[in-house]
Amino acid sequence: MTSAYATQQDTEIFSVATVSDFFELLKPRVMTLVVFIGFVGLVLAPGHVHPFLALVAVLCIALGAGAAGAINMWYERDIDAVMGRTKNRPLPQGRVNPDEALAFGIVLTILAVGLMGVALNWTAAALLVFASFFYVFIYTIWLKRRTPQNIVIGGAAGAFPPMIGWAAVTGTVTIESILLFALIFLWTPPHFWALALYKNEDYKKAGIPMLPVVAGERATKQQIILYSLIMTPFVLAPYFAHIAGIAYLVGAVVLHGLFVLGSFRIWRDTTHKSARVLFGYSIFYLFALFALMLLDKGV
């Protein structure tokens, strides 16, 4: 699907791009959470890495995530132009040349992966490049416009950061890092489906088969509740796997209880107010869970 607006913009000469426009291509708000959970994975990993190399690893995770976001914006500039929450992005507004945005994303990806491999290890670099590949090719290009399960499968891309941080220290993938991956993987669908409930018209307009568009609100609310319950053992897993201690366990029980409660409130709510609340809370929720792991680590 390519809007006439986006096609017209692609044929124009772009000369108004600023540094802030290119920074916006990196999806900085999303990147902030990605970098934080990647940093937590690095800190929780057994072993030691020099603080400077730890900083390099975090920088590589940030660059890799931002680069994937830039390529995503390049590919989705047609649907971004017709959705209310994305129409003011640099590409739909014609502030950045699409070719420059694509090149920007590719160069940053190569830089991030190469630096991670040379400075830390190639296991972490391989995970980083696979996460980028998954987000761009599996989620953005293949799944998003084809199936309502797009975010279920594609959400794996956003679950890699703690595993990458862990591998940066240990050079391995362990059951502990997989548990952290699983926690984020299961958090992603209810997080995005809450957004999709109150942005349903946007997704319809863009022709994106998000679950509320294809299956309706009732089915979407059922899935949100189901995932919030399925998440429970994985929320508790960091304690039982000795990744975090009792402070995490107590905090996680409270945080997750509120998450489950929020999902049930969506079921009873005939408006989209509860969906908005759950979407906002879900971001804080994930941040708080990983912050509690850091606290238990003594950071």
How does pLDDT run across 210-234, given as a tens digit for each residue? Answer: 999 999 999 999 999 999 999 999 9
Mean pLDDT of 257-266: 96
* Dihedral angle over CA of 208, 224, 227, 236, nearest 10: 120
CATH number at residue 76: 1.10.357.140
- Residue 44 shares a structural domain with residue 104: yes
Q: Which of 159, 103, 160, 155 has the alpha carbon at shortest distance from 126?
A: 160
Boundary residue ending a domain (128, 149, 173): 173
- Residue 147 shares a structural domain with residue 4: yes
Task: Give the total number of structural domains in the chain.
Answer: 2
Q: What is each CA distance from 49 to 124, 170, 233, in whole angstroms?
A: 13, 9, 30
Instruction: Please give the sequence-ordered ranges of beta strands (E in DSSP) within the chain, or none if there are none.
Output: none
The pTM score is: 0.90
**Alpha helices, DSSP H only, in 207-245?**
211-215, 217-230, 232-240
Mean pLDDT of 172-198: 95
Residue 155: pLDDT band (50, 70, 90) is: confident
- Residue 148 shares a structural domain with residue 262: no
Residue 299: pLDDT band (50, 70, 90) is: low
For residue range 51-71, what is the model confidence (pLDDT) as tens digits?
999 999 999 999 999 999 999
Boundary residue ending a domain (143, 173, 203): 173
pLDDT of residue 120: 95
Residue at token pair 């390519």: 2
pLDDT of residue 177: 96
CA angle at 131 for the pair 127 and 136, rounded to the nearest 5°: 150
- Residue 92 shares a structural domain with residue 126: yes
- Residue 146 shares a structural domain with residue 207: no
pLDDT of residue 259: 97
- Residue 237 shares a structural domain with residue 254: yes
Round the average pLDDT of the chain to a whole number and report it. 91
Residue 198's Cβ-count burial label (10 Å; 0-12, 13-18, 19+) is: middle
DSSP letter at 38 equals: H
- Residue 219 shares a structural domain with residue 270: yes
pLDDT of residue 2: 43
Domain that holds residue 250: 178-299
Mean pLDDT of 10-31: 77
Lowest mean pLDDT among 10-24, 97-111, 176-190, 264-278: 10-24
Boundary residue ending a domain (125, 156, 173): 173
